[in-house]
Amino acid sequence: MDSPVIAYRQRFLELALHCQALRFGEFHLKSGRTSPYFFNAGQFNTGGALAGLAECYADAMEAAGLGFDMLFGPAYKGIPLATALGVALAKRGRDVPIAFNRKEAKTHGEGGSLIGAPLAGRVLIVDDVITAGTAVRESVDIIRGAGGQPCGVIIAIDRQERGAEGQRSAAEEASAALAMPVVAVATLDDLLGFVADRPELALHRERLLAYRAQYGSTGV
Which residues carry out catalysis?
A: 106, 108
What is the C-alpha separation between 124 and 153, in angstroms, rounded?
Answer: 6
Q: How many CB atoms lie within 10 A of CB 106?
A: 12
Q: How many residues does the chain have?
A: 220
Radius of gyration of the chain (CA): 17
Q: How many CB atoms lie within 10 A of CB 178?
A: 18
What is the C-alpha separation between 146 and 167, in angstroms, rounded?
Answer: 34
Q: State phi, psi for 105 to the nearest 5 degrees.
A: -65, 140
